[in-house]
Amino acid sequence: MADTATKTEEAHSDHHDDHHHDQSFWSKYVFSTDHKVIGMQYMLTGVAMALIGGFMSYVFRMQLAFPDESVPFFGRVSSLEYNALVTNHGTIMIFWVAMPILIAAFGNFLIPLMCGCDDMVFPRINRLSYQVFLLSAVVLVISFFVPGGGFGGAWTAYPPLSANAEYSLTPMGSTLWILAVALEFVAFLMGGINFITTAMNARAKGMRMFDIPLVVWMIVIASILFMISVGPLIAGAIMLLLDQLVGTAFFNPFRGGDPILWQHLFWFFGHPEVYVVLLPALGIVGEIIPTFARKKFFGYKLALYTVFATGILSFVVWAHHQFIAGVDPRMVHLFTVTTLLISIPIAELCFLYIATLYGGSISFKTPMLWALAFVVEFLIGGVTGIHLGASGADIYMHDTYFVVAHFHYTFFPIAIIGFYAGITFWFPKWTGCMLNEFWGKVHFWLTIIPFNCIFIPLFILGMGGQHRRIYNHQHFSELATPEYQNLRIFATVSLIVMLLAQVIFFVNIILSLRKGKKAGKNPWKANTLEWTTESPPGHGNFKELPEVYRGPYEYSVPGRKEDYWPQDQKE
Amino acid sequence: MIESLIESGSSYSGDIDFLFTLITVIVGIWFIISEVVLFYFLFRYRKRDGVKAEYLSGEKKSHKKWISIPHWLIIACDIVLIVGAVQVWHHIKQKMPPAEETIRIIAQQWAWTFVHPGKDGLLDTDDDITIVDELHLKENTTYHYELSSRDVLHCFSIPIFRLKQDTIPGRKISGWFRPTTTGVHDVQCAEMCGAGHGLMPAILTIHTEEEYAEWLENQTPNLDPDPLKNEQFRGKEIGELAAD
């Protein structure tokens, strides 16, 4: 291990020296190869896309609550526009918010710092990865404004609808959409190479495999899952692009193709993708809970094994999205079994997080509130997945709002709660300033309470038979009742409250940057290596590359005066 | 649980409702236990002056049992749920009881065409009755359906039957249902199918035996056995929907 660390040091020495002179704004913030700056670029782009995606949800929720009335700041919503809004809301939130923030931003920022090295192994590939990602985001945003409007065939883009402009009525929108998605995959493939290589080869001297902090493991495993699963979908995306542009018929049943083929390619990627974004969020929470409970992580190795098991199982559950899509009914049994089995490792992980709290000394700082909210809310998303994975019940529940509520109870904790947990926890390290606790807590409660108020009504609506992607439920006699309409209005009002509450967060950030308390090296008294260097870390991260003597969660070790024991302290 | 929100109207809808309730009870117990333990820990082990946290790695056997016992219990619950799910699925989607009548359903952007067998109870005869966006059924009669699509994917969904099945262009998909109630209900399209996806409701009317005979008496049989050739069955106008 010592060898590897030295080699990395040598490999980086060129790159290191280049940057000691004064840099212009452009080379420092725009074309930087520094992992912290690239992480920040991913973070800011992701947050900007989240604002767009959030605005979209406001527009279509207004249409559902007050059908066919003009929506403030948007206007009247046509059915085509409604479809484009829900489609791009889903696409943006998964590919341009959850992925860049959880994997790319935190991965870039944390992996070199937590592994104790000065940068990613391939800094220039890292920069290219962000540039391709930015291009993909620009292509997606352009697709809203082309003639015909943005793509509206749902984020799953099932052909023949997505393959033929004659059916979708968005000739340019659908092509740009699939192009943007493909570019985004290219960006994350390059990012993934870096995350895996850096964590495997460039760790500090003395850091063994089981001394790696959970969040680093999780991002590495997520990158592996992504890289294995994305291949089939890239092939599918090329076929879809050819069907759209050249008139091939890969997915056209009248000319020898098969639309179901796309569904298999899409979900072979699409299901592991859920775990690709889940794992980094679980990792972030796994760093925060031990720190604020002052406890060693309960069953660190067991947690890793369950994550491996989840990762492997996640490759053989994909057809549970297609139970009623016309696949062989006998095949469904296989996927019911694998889908329900995946509840075992996920439940165990949740138990490990809860068990970590046992016997702790828990302080409820803002990052801890977010981390605990993750566990509380994710449990709801997890248990309602069983209703959908059980084939018999899915016959009714499929494509209802029950599904919508279920996956928002998984994705909201992952993408939004995970983001806030991470950003409130590492903000002092990233910027050198503490966030204001009071306003952090106000923001927390004003996000969590409305979040539940949005999605609990949707469970009820889904059980009542309200199906997805309908721009106006008044056309259906069984769904047009005033009781149901009140639930829709309640959800929409809750959404608006939640969106407005996000202003508090941004104001808190700006004020804390200007007037916030200085953080110092280690404000939370945490153990991992990023807390042993300056806040914010300078170029090259560490004055002297650290050496590691123990695992990351040695809190409250008996016989020690301090209740924490940083990884790089010999005694 | 579901039946309190929406009527249960087919021979198998009760099975799905029961399965849903069973799942809710089983996962609900796990959910409540987890949340109660979590909140109890948060309260019991909140930071207090002079109390230091315990040092537990969770690697000892005596600690691991707190994870491994729930592990086996969850496997047991999973087996119960899998058996339930497989039984319901097998009953509804795999096994086809003999048909008393057969209905042909053709989906297109953005309308449903229903071909009812006429008085002779057989399809593809001169007395077939073809109607757009209206489905008429008899109570307590086992129907087979033949689903197809003219253009993109759609999903044939009747909430009171708890039935959903995607339609795929170029394929004929068969299934069955047996209405056990009467009245007027919704047929939905539950798969994104383009601009008019939200405008694809059809009306399902379930008659009693006598009412159905009366209704049948008043219908004009469709002389062209292939309804798709007939221009009057085109869906809603594209221009109308795309207009801002």
Tell me if chain B has a CB within 8 Å of the CB of A293. yes
Same domain, B24 and B136: no
pTM of the model as a whole: 0.92
Query: Does B72 reside within a domain?
Result: yes
Provide the percentage of residues in chain A whose pLDDT is more than 70: 96
Closest to A439 in 3D by CA, of A525, A518, A501: A501
ipTM reported for the complex, 2 dp: 0.91
Residue B69: closest C-alpha in chain A: A348
In contact, A284 and A422? CB cutoff 8 Å? yes
Residue B154: closest C-alpha in chain A: A325
The 3-state DSSP class for residue B151 equals coil
**Distance separating the N- and C-terminal Cα atoms of chain A:** 21
Among partner residues B45, B85, B157, which is closest to A391 by beta-carbon distance? Answer: B85
pLDDT-based confidence at residue A373 (cuts at 50, 70, 90): very high
The domain ranges of chain A are 2-7+28-84+97-532
Give pLDDT, residue A490.
97
Same domain, B86 and B110: no
Same domain, B141 and B194: yes
Segment A342-348 shows an average pLDDT of: 93
pLDDT-based confidence at residue B120 (cuts at 50, 70, 90): confident
Per-chain mean pLDDT for chain A: 92
Same domain, B206 and B124: yes
Give pLDDT, residue A21.
55
Q: How far apart are CA A97 and CA B212, in angstroms?
A: 55
Same domain, B122 and B218: yes
Q: How far apart are CA A126 and CA A38, in angstroms?
A: 8
Which CATH number characterizes residue B131's domain? 2.60.40.420
Q: For A184-201, what is each residue's pLDDT tens digit? A: 999 999 999 999 999 999
Q: Which residues of B touch A346 (CB under 8 A)?
A: none
The answer to whether A167 contacts B55, with C-beta atoms less than 8 Å apart, is no
More confident residue, A102 or A18: A102
Closest to B109 in 3D by CA, of B148, B146, B153: B153
Same domain, B210 and B110: yes
Closest to B143 in 3D by CA, of B178, B167, B112: B178
Same domain, B19 and B136: no
The answer to whether A354 contacts B37, with C-beta atoms less than 8 Å apart, is yes
Q: List the domain range (segments joined by +) for residue B22.
A: 2-47+57-94
pLDDT-based confidence at residue B223 (cuts at 50, 70, 90): low
Q: How far apart are CA A442 and CA A453, in angstroms?
A: 17
Q: For A540-553, what is each residue's pLDDT tens digit? A: 899 989 999 999 99
Q: For B157-191, what is each residue's pLDDT tens digit? A: 999 999 999 999 989 999 999 999 999 999 999 99
Same domain, B134 and B19: no
The answer to whether A391 contacts B84, with C-beta atoms less than 8 Å apart, is no
Same domain, B121 and B88: no
Same domain, B159 and B197: yes
Query: Does B192 reside within a domain?
Result: yes
Query: Does B139 reside within a domain?
Result: yes
Is the predicted pLDDT of residue B232 greater than 50, yes or no? no
Segment A81-89 shows an average pLDDT of: 96
Is the predicted pLDDT of residue A78 greater than 80, yes or no? yes
Tell me if chain B has a CB within 8 Å of the CB of A561. no
Q: Which CATH number fits domain A2-7+28-84+97-532: 1.20.1050.10, 1.20.210.10, 3.40.710.10, 3.40.50.80?
A: 1.20.210.10
- For residue A329 the two structure tokens come to 């009914």
Query: Does B237 reside within a domain?
Result: no
Q: How many domains does chain B have?
A: 2
Q: How far apart are CA B151 and CA B110, in angstroms?
A: 10
Is the predicted pLDDT of residue A9 greater than 60, yes or no? no
Residue ranges of E strands in B35-133 = 101-108, 111-116, 129-132
Give pLDDT, residue A13.
44
CB contact residues (below 8 A), chain A span 87-146, against chain B: none
